[in-house]
Chains A and B, each alone.
With several copies, the nearest count.
Chain A
Amino acid sequence: MWNRPVDKLIAGMLTLISPDGTVRDGLSITLEETRELYADMVEARTYDHKCMAMQRQGRLATYAPFEGQEAAQIGAAAALRPDDWVAATYRDAALMWRAGYPWALLIAGRTGDERGGQAPDGLNVLPPSITVGGHMIHAVGLAWAEALNGSDRVALTSFGDGATSEGDFHEAMNFAAVYTTPTVFLCQNNGFAISYPRDEQTRSESIAMKADAYGMPGVIVDGNDVAAVLTVVGEAVARARSGEGPTLIEAVTYRLGPHTTSDDPARYRDEDETGEWRTRDPLERVRALLERAGAWTPEWHAELEARSADVIEEAVAEAEALPRPTAAEMLSRMYAQPTGPLRAQLDEIGA
C-alpha cells in the first residue's frame, strides 16, 4: 500500500520540476546546470548499480543502495562549497562523492578497508557514519568550531527518517539552535528505517515540523526534485553562512532498492508502492525537462552512461589495487603513536 503520510506531505512540499518534467514557478538554475546535475545523477546511479553487482559477486561487504535518492543527495551536495563540512551516512555515497569524495575510496570502504575512510587532504568530508544518529551532533561541533574561528564554512549532516528517533538527533538539533551553529540538517525521509515505515517511526505529521521544538526553521522539499533540493539546501546554507543558524530540511524521497544487500523488502512493502515511486524517479523528470528543452538526446545519455561506466570501472580498479592491509597497520591506526601495550602487541605479531 501507498505510504499515506508521504501522500499528504507531497501536497505541501516544494517541487520545482514535476514528475512529468514540467517546470514550476521559481526554478532558477540554468539549462546547463540542469544538464550537469543530470549527468551527476547518472554517474551516481551507475556507481550504485555497479556496487550492487559487485556485492553479489562477493567483491564488496554489505552495500546500502541509494537508488531513488539521487536528487536529494546530488542536489544537497551541489549547494555546498568545496571546503564545507559533510557528516553523512552509509547510504550517502552520491552526496559524499558530489562533495568531493572519490568513488575509489567509497568503494575501498565497502571492500572492508579502513583506508576508504581517509578523505583526501583538504576535503572536509567525514567517513560515513554507520551508527544511526550519532553523527549529527558532530556537524554541530564542526560548524560551531568554524563559527568560533570566524570562518564562514558550514556543516551539512545527512540522515534518515529513522535517525530522527534517536536521542542524539534531539541533542544535536537543540545544541545547534542554542548556539546558533551554521549547521544544515538534511533528513532524507525515504519512507523506511529498514522495515519500519515512517508513519510508525513518529506520529508527527512531518519531520520538518520537528524543527519548531528547537526554535529552528524546518522546510519540506520534494526529495526527488534535484532543483528543489538544491534551492532549499542552498537557502539553508546561505542562512548558516551568514550567521543566522541551523535549518532542518526534510527531503521526501524513497529508497527503490533494499535497505542493504542483506535485506528483503518483500517482507515489509508492496511492489505497488515501489512501482508508484518509480514514476517519481528523480532522473526521469529531469530527462523529460531536458528533452522538452531540446537538451537531452539518447546519444548524449548513452555517452553519459558510457563515461560513467568507465569512471566507475577505474575507481573499482583503483580500490581493488590497494595492497592488502597489514596487521601492523591495524595496530598503528589507533593512536598518533602506538602506546606501550600496542608496541608490545606489534612485537608479538612480529611487526
Chain B
Amino acid sequence: MSEQTLAQALNGALATALETDERVVLLGEDIGRTGGVFRITDGLRAKYGEDRVFDTPVAESGIVGAAFGMAIAGMRPVAELQFLGFSYPAYDQIINHVARIRNRSNHRFTAPMVIRVPYGGGIGAAEHHSESTEAIYAHIPGLKVVVPSTPSDARGLLLAAIEDPDPVLFLEPIRLYRAVKEEVSELYYTTEIGPMRVEREGRDITLISWGAMIKETRAAAGQLEEKGASVEVLDLRTLSPIDQDGIVASAAKTGRVVVVHEAPRTAGLGAEVAAIIQERVLYSLLAPVRRVAGWDTVFPLKRSEAHYLPSPDRIVRAAEETLEA
C-alpha cells in the first residue's frame, strides 16, 4: 500500500500489466519519450523497452486500428489518445471495427484492447481539450466504457480492462489526475467492470455521477447533509454496461434522484439513467429525475468554464427542488 494520486495509480497499473503479461504493449502519441501529456506512462518506456511502449505518428485512426490488429493477433494493446476531443478521427475504427469483430466473426476473432483517453474539463484547457462525449461511446454495442474517479478504482478498473476479453474505452478524468490521493495496493487486483460504487449511503435522495463530477457531487452531498438530508451518492464508474440494477435499487430506496454530468444535457447519458429509473420504478419516484449537466453548447474556453460546468451549488439547488417536490 502507498498513497497515490489517480495518475500514479494508473501509471502503476500499466507497469503491473507490462510486468505480469508479456502480451501487453502501449502505444500512443508522445507516451514513450515524454510519458504522455499527462505523464501517465512516465518511465515505462525506459523500464520496459522500446518494443513494449511505442511513440506513434499523429494519427488516431491509425493508433486504434493498429492496436486492433495487434489485439486480434493475440496481444493486449493499451492505446492512448491524447484527449477525448481527438478520439473522433478514430471513431470509425472504434464503432465499425473494434466493437464489431466479435460479432461479425461469431466469436472467432476478438479485440481485447484498451483505449485510454483523458477526458473532461475544469482545467481551462484549449478548445477540444475538455470533451465529455461518453454518451456517443456508451451507445456503441460491443464496446465497454469505464471511468474511474478514485485511485484504487483506477488501478483495479484499468487492470480489469486490460484483462477483459472485449474492448474497453477507459476514460480518465483529467481534473482528478492529481486532485485525489488514496492508499492503493501494489498487488495485482481488479475491480469488476459493470457494478457501480456506492460512494456514500443515504435515504432521502440519490445523486448519481461519474468522473470528475464526483467531486462536485460529493461537495453538494456534504452541503445537503449539513442541511439535514440523508444523501446517497453513486459513482457509476462503468458507463457501459450500465449498472441498471444498482441504479434502480437506489432510486427505489430514496425515490428522488439527481444525475450529474459534464456533457451537454440533451442525449447525454443522464437521459439513459432517467429513462431506466422511470421505466423500472416509476411508482417509487417521489419527484422527477433531474439532470444537472453541461448546457447544450460546445465546452467553452477558460473564461466561460465556470458558466458551463455543474457546480456544487447547481447540484444542491436541483437536489433541494427534488427533495421539495
Residues of A within 8 A of B (CB): 61-62, 85, 87, 90, 109, 111-115, 117-119, 121, 126-127, 130-135, 137-146, 148-149, 155, 162-163, 165-168, 171-172, 174-175, 178-179, 193-196, 200-202, 262-264, 267-268, 324-327, 329-331, 333-336, 339-342, 344-345, 349
Contact = CB atoms under 8 A, between A and B. Distances in A.
Contacts of A325: 300, 303-304, 307
A334 B240 CA distance: 13
A165 B58 contact: yes
B72 A61 contact: no
A28 B307 CA distance: 54
A134 B95 CA distance: 11
A178 B34 CA distance: 19
Interface string B87-120: 0010011001100011111111110000000000
Given A168-B89, A262-B37, A137 B66 contact: yes
Given A174-B57, A339-B194, A126 B85 contact: no
Contact of A194 (B30, B68, B241, B303): B30
A171 B303 contact: no
A327 B294 CA distance: 12
B58 A196 contact: yes
A117 B124 CA distance: 17
A74 to B, nearest CB: 24
B66 A334 contact: no
Contacts of B284: none
B233 to A, nearest CB: 21
Given A90-B126, A130-B128, A268-B33, A138 B295 contact: no
B127 interface: yes
A165 B29 CA distance: 12
B75 A145 contact: yes
A126 B72 contact: yes
A134 B93 contact: yes
A122 to B, nearest CB: 10
The 4 closest A-B pairs by CB, nearest first: A141-B69, A112-B302, A137-B65, A339-B241
Contact of B106 (A117, A137, A144, A335): A117
Interface string B213-227: 000000000000000
Contacts of A349: 295, 307
B102 A146 contact: no
Interface of B: 25, 29-30, 33-35, 37, 51, 54-62, 65-75, 77, 85-86, 89, 92-93, 96-97, 101-110, 124-129, 141-142, 144, 165-166, 194, 240-245, 265-266, 295-298, 300-305, 307-308
A140 B104 contact: no
Contact of B69 (A114, A133, A140, A342): A140
Contact of A341 (B35, B102, B242): B242
A345 B314 CA distance: 13
Nearest to A345: B295
A127 B72 contact: no
A137 B184 CA distance: 38
A61 B55 contact: no
B241 A117 contact: no
B29 A194 contact: yes
Given A118-B105, A196-B58, A325-B304, A267 B33 contact: yes
A267 B126 CA distance: 23
Contacts of B307: 325-327, 330, 349
Residue among A127, A172, A263 having the largest count of chain B Cβ atoms under 10 Å: A127
Contacts of B109: 119, 126-127
Contact of B58 (A62, A115, A132): A132
Given A118-B106, A134-B96, A333 B297 contact: yes
A35 B127 CA distance: 36
24 contacts: A61-B125, A61-B301, A113-B303, A140-B62, A140-B69, A141-B69, A145-B73, A148-B51, A149-B74, A149-B75, A165-B59, A165-B62, A166-B58, A172-B62, A175-B56, A262-B37, A268-B34, A327-B308, A334-B142, A336-B107, A340-B243, A342-B241, A342-B295, A345-B296
Contact of B194 (A195, A263, A340): A340
Residue among B77, B85, B89 having the largest count of chain A Cβ atoms under 10 Å: B89
B242 to A, nearest CB: 7
Given A61-B125, A325-B304, A145 B104 contact: no
A172 B63 CA distance: 9
